[in-house]
Chain A
Amino acid sequence: MSAPPTDLAPPRNTRGGVSPRTKRKLTMSTARPWLLLAPALLVLAVLLLWPLLRVVLFSLQDYGLREIVSGRSNYIGFDNYAEIFADPMLWQVVLPNTVGFAIVAVGGTVVFGTLVALLLASLSRGWRTVVSSCIMVAWAMPAVTGTYVWIWLFDADRGLINGILLGTGIIDDPQNWFTDRWSFYAIVVLNIVHHGFPFVAITVLAGLLGVSKEMIEAATVDGAGAFRRFFQIIFPTLRPVFAVVIILSTIWDFKVFAQIYLMPGGSGSNRSVLNLGVWSYVESFAQNRYGLGSAIAVLLTLLLLVVSVLYVRTLFKEEK
């Protein structure tokens, strides 16, 4: 939460930040921005902070259906958190799956998306429209539909992939790709990258079109190759764009749920593929243990905050 520097704070009445003069006198002109912002801030507080606070309060309770019916609270301190941390499932399966998957998926999405953006940037206007419309289709596809397409492709008995592999003699017996942890997540990565790369591509493309052509031309004249041009001119210019893209992808990929829950065995019957999202659902909400579920949600929020802060720090460090 400490991420935005002070110059992003709302009242930007005087250029150059807070001066001693404005601090002394609370005149109408200093109060006005806050007054104007008040309704929006109030709505934010009610819609965002209050639920957040409720979640934290729930996480300190043994909160189930019985408590919902009676409306009583049932505080148990940090027992929910203790239970989560004591579960070997979390350390052996859930966390490695979640973190490992997020790293691979974010990397895959960003790299592939950037490559597509570079391709788009080098196309003529007409072709750019055609190609970007095509990749928009992947983006526009609902997660559920997309997931089922991948399930069908990899279906053990009648899927296209198994059909090809059997036909070419690479495998002898039909293989169920969803029972093994690694092949299961390979399919999820394909699904997520396929669904996530258009956002990266379009965002990076918007940034690419803003990179000064003169600079690139000058670098080409000076003998810089494609790699050098990308890493020494384009990437530094697009640093803020990459920051946004990476942080958002990380957040999305950490809490991926539907794409795993809907896969064969992904809803809990295959324990080796549980991730944080599905695990918290199975352990808590499906059993009406809302307190435990809230505790997991709080932990996930904290984890993502830490990750986001680290990203922002490293990406902007050199500029300062």
Chain B
Amino acid sequence: MKKLRIPLAMAAAATLTLTACGGGDGGASTNAEGETLSVWIMQGTNPDAEAYFDEVKTKFTEETGATLDVQFIQWAEAHDRFVTSIAGGTTPDVAETGNTWTGEFADAGALAPLDEYVTAANLDGDLVEGLVESGTLDESLYGMPWYAGVRSVIYRTDIFEELGLEVPTTWDELVDVGLALKEAKPEMTPFAIPGDNGYAAYPFIWGNGANLATKEGDTWTSGLTSPEAREGLEFYTGLATEHGLSSAGATTWNAKDILDNFVQGNLPMAVMGSWEPPAILEQNPDLEGKIGAFPIPGPDGNISPSFLGGSHLSVFESSENKDLAWAFVEMMATGELADKWAEQTNYFPGQTSLLEDAVASDDPLVKPFATQFVEGGTSVPVTPQWGAVEAQKTLPAMIQSILSEQKTVDQATEDAAAEIEELLNGN
């Protein structure tokens, strides 16, 4: 008979909508004695997450009386975990959602709208624009901006100093600096163009005034075939194919390969994220004091926009006590705890008033990113379907095919634009 219990248990798990929290009848958010709020947080963002969340737990129990149950989830498996938990009805009350996923989960009906809570907490207008945009679906906010990072160029200050190089502020200067590095340091790859990383290429499309896709009426049109986009990509891939500033291997590199090679000292500069300096210094302490950053230059000065990648805190529709869930979200995403999180993780807070401190900072590893964040932070096209474009690797495929000289820029952009339009408009 024992064997018969397996299917029964499976059926029960599949049909019953179990909420992860054990809470029964709770009261208002400020008095939730005996309740438990379950929370999923991504692992690896904060090197000392345990200590941070111990503090959060204490504070949360003080304020609401409820207990906090924090689970750490790996980024790599997170998407699958969310989907299976949605399917099995075992979602947490609150979870950190990557800002390209929030729209997707909201579109599926798994997340609760937060607009009323945000207004009640007087936070309208105090949240970082780019993160609000990516957390919004059909004019409702489903993801509370928590933290975000941005890509700029990280470079080796010691090498630039040694060669007397200035930080480039235009595309022409970028080429000049790259060529100077190539000549003086032939064992290094002056400016790697990673073929498997679309985010590093976006600034060169946006910076030249083009877009990835825009919506008019009900139809999405990709701007990749515009002369501006083609010129930007011609320049970006040309750094590898024409000027030889990249390497053969970089044609198939992803963001992790860039980090590894920077750590090993193979790269004097590379487009990297604001969250990466701690990882660089942890893996190679010798680089302490030898790295700096500068915003990605525009074609003739200014700054090329870069993608704001970050996380929202989302409340799941299945949560039984949404007031309590919001109390946690507000505590984490605003004020002192949010500030502390940003400081410990090297990310920027999602609250505009907190962000101002970061902008005022003169830390050489914070200020350039903050400038990029505020002056040149932007979002990929806001639609739940953009996830499909990411999954298909449309843009990495485009860049890689140009780098490996399988397609011309014109051909590659045409194919990519067609694919984007099909994915965004289709189905």
Contacts and interface: CB of A to CB of B under 8 A. Distances in A.
Contact of B3 (A43, A50, A156): A43
Contacts of B104: 65, 288
Given A156-B247, A157-B247, A176-B252, A267 B401 contact: no
Nearest to B396: A269
Interface residues of B, number: 37
Interface in A173-199: 173-176, 178-180
Contacts of A47: 6
Given A68-B86, A271-B397, A265 B196 contact: yes
A156 B249 contact: yes
Interface string B85-111: 011000000000000000011011110
Contact of B83 (A68, A70, A270): A68
B406 interface: yes
Given A65-B83, A66-B107, A271 B401 contact: yes
Nearest to A175: B248
A282 interface: yes
Contact of A269 (B249, B266, B388, B400): B400
Contacts of A282: 391-393
A178 B387 CA distance: 26
A158 B253 CA distance: 13
Contact of B400 (A50, A175, A265, A286): A265
For this complex, into which size category does the number of interface residues on chain A fall?
Answer: 35 or more
Interface in B239-280: 247-253, 257, 266
Contacts of B397: 268-271
Interface in B133-150: none
A271 B396 CA distance: 10
Interface string A49-88: 0100000000000001110111000000000000000000
B346 interface: no
Contact of B196 (A39, A264, A272): A264
B267 to A, nearest CB: 11
A46 B248 contact: no
A175 B248 CA distance: 6
B404 interface: yes
B189 interface: yes
Nearest to A179: B404
Interface in B388-417: 388, 391-393, 396-397, 399-401, 404, 406
A47 B6 CA distance: 9
A257 to B, nearest CB: 15
Contact of A174 (B247, B388, B406): B247
B3 A179 contact: no
Given A156-B248, A157-B248, A176-B248, 6 more contacts: A66-B107, A68-B108, A173-B248, A179-B400, A268-B392, A288-B83
Interface of A: 39, 42-43, 46-47, 50, 64-66, 68-70, 155-158, 173-176, 178-180, 264-265, 267-272, 282-283, 286-288
Interface of B: 3-4, 6-7, 83, 86-87, 104-105, 107-110, 189, 195-196, 247-253, 257, 266, 387-388, 391-393, 396-397, 399-401, 404, 406
12 contacts: A46-B7, A50-B7, A65-B107, A66-B108, A68-B108, A174-B249, A176-B248, A178-B251, A179-B404, A265-B196, A265-B252, A286-B391
